[in-house]
Amino acid sequence: MPNAQTLTSRQRFLAACRRQPVDSTPAWVMRQAGRYLPEYRAVRGSHDFLTMVRDPKLAAEVTLQPIRRFDMDAAVIFSDILVPCAAMGQAVSFAEGEGPSLAPHVRSKVDVDRLRDFDPKQATGFLGDAIRIVRKELGDAKAIIGFCGAPWTTASYMIEGGSSKNFEHSKRMLHAEPELFDRLCARLVDNLVPYLAMQVEAGADVVQIFDSWGGALDARTYRAALLPHVKRLVAGAKRLGVPVILYVNGCAQLLEVLADAEPDVLGLDWRVDPVDAIARVGARCAFQGNLDPCVLFATPEIVVREVERTLAAFAPQNGHIFNLGSGILPGTPVESMDALFKVIRGRRPRSKSAGAVGAAPKADVPDLLGQAERERLRQQITGTDAGSHFPAAMVDSILEEINAIRAKRLERHAFRVGQRVRVKEGPFVGTIGHVATLDDAKGTLHVTLVLSGHGHEFEFDWWQIESA
């Protein structure tokens, strides 16, 4: 790996996209905000999927859940590639266990002409609002990924009216009515570029184009019928000033065609041999991928082995982002994701990794404790039964939380319940959360510290801030 200064997660992710030197391999997981997480299921139990997509606060919350738990380098905004289809006039619904349904089908010239162009700020402004909430929460520490569907995948959903195994109607239009298919794809790109622009304006650092069904096409057909539209979409996104990731599931036969679309990063599914991809198009773009998501159903020891193997396979490549070769599956054990990101975090330099335990306080948070108070609190924390097992770096993190809480109290800022700080060093690996309650009558802030990890969870009241 080329030498590089110590980077924040956001810097690391963007540098890898641009094939610049990095201090370690950045990582995130497609569908990382999803049903494998108990905290996601808790939210999903009270809200249907589309409500979560369209409610900025809910979308932001589930976007942040995996970041709090695993400390990925990037947050992918919680949304769906079919949001533009609804904005263009189709009714989109999700039946539990059955996948999406779109109506009416788009299968004729009348159907294509009936689609409406949309203003993304008006029709899909909820997505921009969710991105802004996530950016406010993460600051500049983490990258934010916006996304859309690729022309083929989006068009096939519109034509088929949902998922498909063989894409009979879509391929019939592509081959029998190429001008109509071309018109549909052109309409989609016309709307998707402003849709991505809205996400970038709201705070997205990178955009990914998902061609989930691209592997259903042979290279000749993809080059003739889809490449012009994909290339125009990629070019439009790159003009926004952000890196573009193009992910195509089942892309082994398409690598050269996809590289001709000129993305900054090419996402590889798990079927692609990294050695083959590097030899064929590695000089033209960075790569993302490509661990088989089913590996995560094995033991944590096997997960660690396969993550290390994947990282080693891509080591010769100039520019690599670790990811799965497809979206994480709903039944994936959380312990496997813990094992995966323990490997990723273990490769990061300790001194400045964003969100890392022991990192220096943010420049915009004044030190209101002082050395003497810090030492007194350190002794108080480590004097408890639980605190006696904390590594020094973890205690440093708690002290910075105390300082940040005191700064907020003095500035009359509102307190958030359940704010998280990752704990990544020493024998204890888990999360720190605090619940702050303010007794205005007495001018006292009570902070309850909640720690969980390795199957253990405990809490104790451990500090009070007296008002001046």
Active-site residue among 23, 71, 73, 80? 80
Q: Is 44 a catalytic residue?
A: yes
How many whole angstroms separate alpha carbon 42 and alpha carbon 47? 9
Q: Is 132 a catalytic residue?
A: no
Active-site residue among 36, 40, 157, 195? 157
How many whole angstroms separate alpha carbon 39 and alpha carbon 42? 5
Q: Is 273 a catalytic residue?
A: no
For 169, other C-beta atoms within 10 Å of its C-beta total: 16
Active-site residue among 10, 12, 19, 31? 31
| Burial class of 113 by CB neighbour count within 10 A (0 to 12, 13 to 18, 19+) | exposed
Q: Is 35 a catalytic residue?
A: yes
Name residues whose C-beta falls within 8 Å of residue 310's C-beta, 6 or more positions apart in sequence: 274, 289, 290, 291, 322
CB of 274 closer than 8 Å to CB of 232 = no
Active-site residue among 35, 132, 305, 350? 35
Q: Is 157 a catalytic residue?
A: yes
C-alpha angle with apex 290: 188 to 207, nearest 5 degrees? Answer: 35
Alpha carbon distances (Å) from 235 to 153, 238, 264: 18, 5, 10
How far from chain centre, in Å, is Cα 335? 19
How many whole angstroms separate alpha carbon 116 and alpha carbon 90? 9
Q: Hey, is 276 helix, strand or coil?
A: helix
Catalytic site positions: 31, 35, 44, 80, 157
